[in-house]
Structure 1
Amino acid sequence: MENKWVAHRAFFLAFAGISLIIGLGAGLALLGLTVPRLFDAKAIEHGPLMIFGFIAGAIVMERTVATKTWWAWAAPAFHALGVVLLISGAPRQLIAVAFCLSFATLSACYVLIYHRQSTLEVVVQAAGTIGILSSVVQWAISGDFKPAIPLAAVFVVATIIGERVELARLKIAQSSADVLLTALCLALVAASLVFILAPDLGLAVMGALFLIIALAAVRVDVAINLVRSRGLPRFSAACMLAAYGWLAVTGILWMSSQFLPGELVYDAAVHAVFIGFTLSMIFAHAPVILPAVVHRALPYHSVLYVPVAAVHLGLIVRIVSDTQNFVPGHQLGGVINVVGVLGFLLTAVVLAVKAAWKKRSKQRAHSNA
């Protein structure tokens, strides 16, 4: 029975992986590079694929497993449907309905979790779902994904900050820092609603809050101490500290720009939060979260630093080029980002497969002894 549930989890998680691969290819098409027809055709869906399909899909899967109740599986099921509809070119409103049902179920999961464990971090994560639901609705109504991006950013920031506390990596449980971060994240959700009515004001306030949240969280995060350790703790800490740095950069960019689509500074403002902050946090927690979700170990190896470093290097090149309106640098940075993300994915798969093979070999040797 357990093996069936593991296969069940891997099946739904695969839709997030598919979204990532197609989304990365679509991103290369947006950079003006020659790509296979599938990726070129999905260039306009790059944002929905990466945010609704990959990032939100991974969060939905992790929270579903943590909820441990049968009806929670409606969230990954509706998410998988949304991904299929998105890739197949179904009407946008139909796709939005599937994603809304998935994220609404995610909200219900947080309500159940809160009844079991009434903590501020659960409140923060639950409030963050307002952002992703608003983002889907905004996209469905306008047909333009760009106005939906700030709303989705609220979701990822609130979710990740909340999970940092939940995973007991922040030294703030039941403390004034816990209350402060909760208040800041709730203010961020409120600012996203202001953005809907007054975009320039909302963006400026959200940018200021991103900066303050980054400074407040990094000050109390145990990553500051763990970065001086070795092995996996040091790797995770380095990724987390880099993520906080990129969140601070995001805040500065959002406060200083008008977030105008078509401008390269817009590209910088978007990818600082979704690559710099979000992917860094995913890299940091992958060796811990993956075993919990699919019961497959992802052992640490120092080689993981290589693709992570490539992602950050590419993002630095990209953002510096964006601020200088240097298109070749913008393209180069984007390509390095894609290579780094794919490199991390490939490295993780190889490490997981090798670990599983070693485990089976030991089991066979033990049974034959």
Structure 2
Amino acid sequence: MPRLPLLALAILALLAAIWAGLLRLGWAWPALQPALAAAHGPLMVSAFLGTVISLERAVALDRRAAYLAPALAAAGGLLLLSGLSWTWGGRLLALGSLGLAVLFGVIVRRHPAIYTVVMALGALAWLLGNVLQLFGRPIYAVVPWWVAFLVLTIAGERLELSRVLRLSRRTINLFAGAAGVFLAGVILSTLAYGAGVRLAGLGLVALAAWLLRFDLARRNVRLSGLTRFIAVCLFGGYVWLGVGGALWLIYGGVPAGPIYDAILHTIFLGFVFAMIFGHAPLIFPSVLGRPMVYLPAFYLPLIVLHLSLLLRVAGDLLAIVPLRQWGGLLNGVALLLFLGTTGVSLARGRR
């Protein structure tokens, strides 16, 4: 199965997205191609995260045809990265998201449960966001759908893992209510952007509160080693999710500028990448079939991520451009440190 090449293409998209993000922040560095800065969002969300999430599901289903979804997403990212065709890159990313939606259709049919349905809704949100982009909707109008893709996928996975806690029906209903408010806001944002993102922000705050109170990490943070590290990652991510939701709730439909930057990166960096840092020691071995060893150095990129994001958000909210730029640069350093520590862990695990 083409696991390693697909993962390599996803990481290439991540590196390109980091570079594109720094160009957007105003760092006067050479661009690989003229449209690279504009491709920052699609590269990060669809070409990197979409490929990785699709690849993880393909491995779990263990069917050759399932690998078509991450392959299409990776190919779309390659076209965006190279600048050969924005149109065909977007089409391939949309087809990749359609493939993931089909995979989740199979999963829901096999295992009908609230958590599989929530993750399937996340895949549909990715598909709808990519379709909206294909039809020329601006990125700010597509972003709520991309946020829904990642938030619902992660929240559904956490609900699935929390089954061992034997959550009460009332607790699960609270989760469903928070997710429902968030999704309703995302849908509304397509018709009334300002009102929709405020409602979505309320849902994000509710989801963050639920995860902080009921997630399995609440128990695991008292343990040690890798289990504690994962729990620390999750708790930090949930706090950033709540901050991002609160900013959406307060500022509403901001289509660009520093506040827009703060909202997006509290969610995409603070929440999503904290989840990736925490789950990487579980995902990489399952995808690559190679063991990883726990390293205390795992905390280094996590600390740099949180501190640099604080710097960036402070620069956004206080309108201090250099603070925002240096915070963004250190965000990139945190992601590179994560890739480095993951590589070292994989190498030691193999030995």
The structural deviation recorded for 1:143 is: 5.8
Segments of structure 1 that go 5 or more residues without pairing to the other structure are: 359-369
- 1:260 pairs, out of 240, 254, 262, with 254
Closer, same or farther: CA 167–14 of 1 in aligned 2, 3 Å = farther
* TM-score (norm: length of structure 1): 0.91
Query: Are 1:116 and 2:91 matched, yes or no?
Result: no
Cα distance in structure 2, aligned partners of 1:188 and 1:74: 30
Segments of structure 2 that go 5 or more residues without pairing to the other structure are: none
What residue in structure 2 maps to residue 146 of structure 1? 140
Cα distance in structure 1, aligned partners of 2:81 and 2:121: 29
What residue in structure 2 maps to residue 363 of structure 1? none
Cα distance in structure 2, aligned partners of 1:215 and 1:249: 11
What residue in structure 2 maps to residue 36 of structure 1? 30
Closer, same or farther: CA 55–197 of 1 in aligned 2, 3 Å = same
Query: Are 1:324 and 2:310 matched, yes or no?
Result: no
Max radius of gyration: which structure? Answer: 1
Query: Are 1:226 and 2:224 matched, yes or no?
Result: no
Read off the aligned partner of 1:285 and give its amino acid letter: H
Say which SS state the counterpart of residue 37 (structure 1) adopts. Answer: coil
* TM-score (norm: length of structure 2): 0.95
Query: Are 1:271 and 2:265 matched, yes or no?
Result: yes
Q: Could you list the per-position Cα deviations for residues 83-127 of structure 1 after superposition, in whole angstroms to 9, with x for gaps in the alignment?
A: 122123244332222112111111111111122211110000001
Query: Are 1:198 and 2:192 matched, yes or no?
Result: yes
% identical aligned pairs: 34
Cα distance in structure 1, aligned partners of 2:90 and 2:33: 21
Cα distance in structure 2, aligned partners of 1:194 and 1:127: 16
Closer, same or farther: CA 203–143 of 1 in aligned 2, 3 Å = closer
Closer, same or farther: CA 143–286 of 1 in aligned 2, 3 Å = same
Cα distance in structure 2, aligned partners of 1:132 and 1:222: 26
What residue in structure 1 maps to residue 288 of structure 2? 294
What residue in structure 2 maps to residue 351 of structure 1? 345
- 1:179 pairs, out of 153, 173, 180, with 173
Instruction: Give the conservation status (yes or no) of the 8 Å contact 1:12–1:77.
Output: yes
Q: Could you list the per-position Cα deviations for residues 287-322 of structure 1 after superposition, in whole angstroms to 9, with x for gaps in the alignment?
A: 011111111222111111011100110000111111
Query: Are 1:92 and 2:68 matched, yes or no?
Result: no
Q: Could you list the per-position Cα deviations for residues 177-226 of structure 1 after superposition, in whole angstroms to 9, with x for gaps in the alignment?
A: 22332343243223211110000110000000000011012211121221
Q: Could you list the per-position Cα deviations for residues 305-346 of structure 1 after superposition, in whole angstroms to 9, with x for gaps in the alignment?
A: 011100110000111111111111101111111101101111
- 1:65 pairs, out of 43, 59, 65, with 59
The structural deviation recorded for 1:168 is: 4.1
Instruction: Give the conservation status (yes or no) of the 8 Å contact 1:164–1:170.
Output: no
Instruction: Give the conservation status (yes or no) of the 8 Å contact 1:120–1:179.
Output: no
Instruction: Give the conservation status (yes or no) of the 8 Å contact 2:217–2:231.
Output: yes
Cα distance in structure 2, aligned partners of 1:300 and 1:169: 25
Q: For 1:70-89, list aligned pairs within 5 A.
A: 70-89=64-83
What residue in structure 1 maps to residue 204 of structure 2? 210
Read off the aligned partner of 1:233 and give its amino acid letter: T
The structural deviation recorded for 1:81 is: 1.8
What residue in structure 2 maps to residue 364 of structure 1? none
Instruction: Give the conservation status (yes or no) of the 8 Å contact 2:204–2:241.
Output: yes
Cα distance in structure 2, aligned partners of 1:298 and 1:259: 42
Cα distance in structure 2, aligned partners of 1:194 and 1:117: 30
Q: Superposition RMSD on alpha carbons, in Å?
A: 1.7
Instruction: Give the conservation status (yes or no) of the 8 Å contact 1:169–1:221.
Output: no
Cα distance in structure 2, aligned partners of 1:64 and 1:230: 31
Q: For 1:154-173, list aligned pairs within 5 A.
A: 154-168=148-162, 171-172=165-166
Instruction: Give the conservation status (yes or no) of the 8 Å contact 1:129–1:155.
Output: yes
The structural deviation recorded for 1:144 is: 3.1
Instruction: Give the conservation status (yes or no) of the 8 Å contact 1:227–1:234.
Output: yes
Instruction: Give the conservation status (yes or no) of the 8 Å contact 2:33–2:82.
Output: no
The structural deviation recorded for 1:227 is: 1.3
Closer, same or farther: CA 335–94 of 1 in aligned 2, 3 Å = same
Cα distance in structure 1, aligned partners of 2:221 and 2:207: 20
